[in-house]
Amino acid sequence: MDFTSILIAILTLTAGIGVFLVACQMMSTHLEAVSSKRLKQLFSKTGRNKWIGVGIGTVGTAAIQSSGAVTVMVIGFVNVGILSLAQAATIIYGANIGTTVTAQLVALGMFGTNSISTTVIFAAFAGIGAFMTLFSKRNTTKQIGGILTGFGMLFVGLSMMAEAMDDFAALESVRQFLASINNVVLLVLVGAVLTAIIQSSSVMTSIAITMVVSGLITLDQGIYLTMGSNIGSCVVAIIAGVTSGTSAKRTAAIHLIFNLMGVVIFMLIGFLLRSATGGAWSFGQVFNRMFPSAPQLQLAMFHTVFNVCTMLVAMPLTNALVNLACRIVKEVPKEKTDEPHLRFLDEQMLRTPVVAIRQLKAEIENMAELALQNFQRSIHIVTTLDYSEIETFRKTEILLNYLNNELVNYTVKLSGKRLNSFDQRYLSTTIRTVSDLERIGDYAENIVEYADALKEQNATFSADAIAEILKMEQLILDLYEETIQAYHKLDLEALDRANCIEDEIDNYTNLMEQNHIERLVHGVCTPSVGAEYLSLAQNSERVADHLTNMGKTIRDLV
């Protein structure tokens, strides 16, 4: 084999890995877009039953073909308190099992030699999916086409890798070099490092399968490379955890501890098996006997057995794993900072739009609460001229302006992701909602300015006027409660109740204006103070309008 042939084999292998990675990403993205609503429902069913968590992790990963995406979702949910560490651990166990589906598909695709290979049949789905994507006008059909294209490209990449491995297998020097690597610890390290680099255990396992089938490495070597790939797959979770809170870091630590534990247990079993039989038996011989003449299936089945057995060992030790992770990742006292920041979102979540959408909604609901709190502070200041909370008011206003800018930018970034039709419709409402909430903060600022004017005049509102203002405040609080329920739960009945309260607020604003005129006539109120009162009533009514706008967005979603 000359230099040119070796170069072609290297380039073919590189191209095959590239196609395989793109295929995995394409499948994951389109599957996630199609199934994101169901995934949200699936994760919401996680309860105290550990087996439910394992099932959710397995099904979720098998559905979107990415344990990394599922792990990042879990970290996001733990970060905001939706999942406990124990619940997250069980989902991660299941995600490790679900990721073995790719290896099983690869093994299935490598059957058939004399007749038409299953690889060729499955690769043809790339063309079918491409036609669906190009010529269909329906978004759902395009997404299904993207899934089929990714599925087909998976086997195109596999075929290219297998071809390259066959070329390398023809080189005696390469065969001798690989045969000399018998140290199981070194093989595990190589598998971990390569997986960390390409950030896909599925790709690493698939490469190992093609190497075993071509005879480039033995089944035992492939098994230890696959073990290492499980450790390397933790890199995605570690990256996501580092940029998040303490609970997220602990979740990433649980993922790493779980996979390390599995590798250590199986390495010990392998050592004992060889020692007890004088080297006659190993994992390779066991799986060769179980699945004769099918090396691709032998390695794929080991991968599945490895993750299932590790899960069974870890299940009763879940609380111990959580405690260990808590000891490794200490609770860091939060530094008090006046710098505004996002509470539920970070850039890492853009990798999993299904999580980002949910967290964006939580961030908007938090912004609504902040806006209402500042409205309440402004009412307190204007009715009592007590400025004790003015610094908190100003800091909250700065935070509201910051959230307005950041959430708009985040929404723009999310809009470039593949989303299902429901999430797309929701995203289209968010910029308007954020703007409405920021305007509530502005009206609260106006009300504080009216308090400043009263203070300069050394004047106050009359007792009747203050009672009316406080009644208006209570109506707006009632409106807020119904609006948030409608927004959070997509509750049309709560929206109807909110609309009724909003009508009541409009009527009450008119009543406040009429009462103000009567007080002017009777000399109870001065014109200058009355001007501030009328402006306050109108501003409060506009706060109610903006809250109602937030609730009305759900009509586009239900």
Per-residue confidence band for 548, with pLDDT thresholds at 50, 70 and 90: very high
**pLDDT more than 70, % of the chain:** 87
Cα–Cα distance measured from residue 266 to residue 280, given in angstroms and rounded to the nearest whole number: 17
Cβ pair 499, 548 in contact under 8 A: yes
> CA–CA distance from 450 to each of 374, 444, 447, 457, 530 (Å)?
15, 10, 5, 11, 11
Domain boundaries, the chain: 3-328, 349-556
- Cβ-based neighbour number of residue 65 at 10 Å: 28
Cβ neighbors of 12 (< 8 A, separation 6 or more) are 160, 161, 163, 164, 167
The two three-digit tokens of residue 499, written as one number: 């609309």
* Least reliable range by pLDDT among 43-57, 224-238, 246-260, 356-370: 43-57
- Judge whether residue 400 has pLDDT over 70: yes
Give the count of beta carbons closer than 10 Å to the beta carbon of residue 116: 10
What would the DSSP string read from start to end of 385-409?
A: ---TTHHHHHHHHHHHHHHHHHHHH
| CATH architecture of the domain covering 349-556 | Up-down Bundle (1.20)
Q: What pLDDT score does 36 carry?
A: 56
User: Does residue 300 have a pLDDT over 50?
Assistant: yes
Query: Is the pLDDT score of 114 beyond 50?
Result: no
Measured in residues, the chain has a length of 558
Rounded to two decimals, the pTM is: 0.67
Q: Tokens 């950041």 identify what position?
A: 406
pLDDT in tens, 233-267: 887 677 666 666 677 788 888 989 999 999 999 99
- CA separation for the pair 342, 405 (Å, rounded): 11
Q: How far is CA 132 from the centre of its chain?
A: 28
**Rounded-to-integer distance, Cα 372 and Cα 265, Å:** 55
pLDDT at 557 over 50: yes
pLDDT of residue 115: 44
Neighbours of 481 (CB within 10 A): 15
One-letter amino acid identity for 110?
M
Q: Which tokens go with 229?
A: 């790939």
Work out the pLDDT band at 381, boundaries 50, 70, 90. very high
What is the model's pLDDT at position 80? 60
* pLDDT band, residue 342 (cuts 50/70/90): confident
Taking 60 as the threshold, does the pLDDT of residue 328 lie above it? Answer: yes
Residue 411 has pLDDT above 90, yes or no: yes
Reading the block at residue 296, the tokens are: 């691709």
pLDDT category at 75 given cuts 50, 70, 90 is confident
The residues near 376 (Cβ < 8 Å, ≥ 6 apart) are 473, 477
What is the b/e burial string over 75-97, where b = at least 16 CB atoms within 10 angstroms of the residue's CB?
A: bbbbbbebbbbebbbbbbbbbbb
Of 104, 213, 225, which Cα lies nearest the Cα of 154?
Answer: 104
Q: Is the pLDDT of residue 113 over 60?
A: no
Among 107-111, 196-200, 285-289, 417-421, where is mean pLDDT lowest? 107-111
Continuous segment of H or E residues that includes residue 118? helix 118-123
Q: List, for residues 214-229, the tens digit of each pLDDT value.
A: 888 889 999 999 999 8
